Amino acid sequence: MSDKPIRVTVWNEFRHERSNAAVKAIYPEGMHAVVAEALRRRLGSAVEVGTATLDEPDHGLTDEVLERTDVLTWWGHGAHHEVRDEIAEKVRGRVLRGMGLLPMHSGHLSKPFTLLMGTTCMLKWRDCGEREILWNVRPGHPITDGLSDHLDLPQTEMYGELFDIPEPDELIFISWFEGGNVFRSGCCFHRGKGAIFYFRPGHETFPIYHHDQVQRVLANAVRWLAPKSSSPYAGDGVNVTEPMAPIGS
């Protein structure tokens, strides 16, 4: 593959930051601005980062934008149902053709992610600002580069098992929560030619995306999610009338 920059689109619902003063205080220009800036700062010329939000035309995800996106990050929470079905389907199709997808936190219920998983993607939750420790269970994986054996977040919303997903193709992080729960917090999936990395941290009322190690994971994940193969993908099927080898001899 070439060494051209990875073209990233950071997608955000961008509602809480405008309607909730506490969230606005943490993310005055929206979570997408913080995430985009972190990726630019950490990955430099290896990326070109744009943003898109729910209330833009086509949610900012026109065909043109999707076609030139290598990795799409996704944060949504209260307005998953406002994402139009045909846009969600386009995102799904684009992943199958090779785009990386990085659903964050409550993006577990986003339309593109649930369409790709086929399960409910539901979970337990509790919002009381408890401590979370994410344990690194794949120290050799590119997504864990530069991390120690755990990440420690002093205050977050709890997500607990059962997380109703297909068994991840690669399980990277398992979270411990102060209140007694655990969660598969970093999950890799391969679908069609594309890869998906679900990453749990990110509740809007805490400064999670300002956290150094969280940003490190996001930057590593963008590198890992970028397309890595120019091999053709025949996801539309092929009626091959000619055999490879002689038949009926």
List binders of a copy of itself among 54-73 (CB under 8 A): none
Bridge partners of 211, per DSSP, are none
Phi, psi of 131 (to 5 degrees): -80, 145
206: contact with a copy of itself by CB under 8 A: no
192: contact with a copy of itself by CB under 8 A: yes
Cα–Cα distance, 196 to 221 (Å, whole number): 9
Q: Where are the alpha helices (DSSP H) in 44-197?
A: 63-67, 85-96, 111-117
Secondary structure class of 108 (helix, strand, coil): helix
180: contact with a copy of itself by CB under 8 A: yes
2: contact with a copy of itself by CB under 8 A: no
215: contact with a copy of itself by CB under 8 A: no
Identity of residue 84? R
Cis bond before residue 162 (omega within 30° of 0): yes
Bridge partners of 160, per DSSP, are 124
Which two tokens mark 154? 């002093």
Minimum CB–partner distance for residue 58 and a copy of itself (Å): 22
Q: Residues touching a copy of itself: how many (CB under 8 A)?
A: 87
Closest CA to 235 of 195, 191, 169, 190: 191
Cα–Cα distance, 26 to 6 (Å, whole number): 28
245: contact with a copy of itself by CB under 8 A: yes
Per CB under 8 A, the list member of 14, 27, 163, 197 interacting with a copy of itself is: 163
Close Cβ partners of 97 (under 8 Å, ≥ 6 residues apart)? 192, 193, 194, 233, 235
Question: Which positions from 19 to 48 touch a copy of itself by CB under 8 A, shown as an x/- string?
Answer: ------------------------------
Per CB under 8 A, the list member of 37, 170, 205, 207 interacting with a copy of itself is: 170
212: contact with a copy of itself by CB under 8 A: no
**Between residue 84 and residue 113, which ones bind a copy of itself under the rule CB under 8 A?**
92, 96, 98
Q: For a copy of itself, which stretch binds (CB under 8 A), given 7-15, 68-76, 81-89, 156-164?
A: 156-164
Q: For a copy of itself, which stretch binds (CB under 8 A), given 48-56, 75-83, 170-178, 197-205?
A: 170-178
**Between residue 134 and residue 153, which ones bind a copy of itself under the rule CB under 8 A?**
135-150, 152
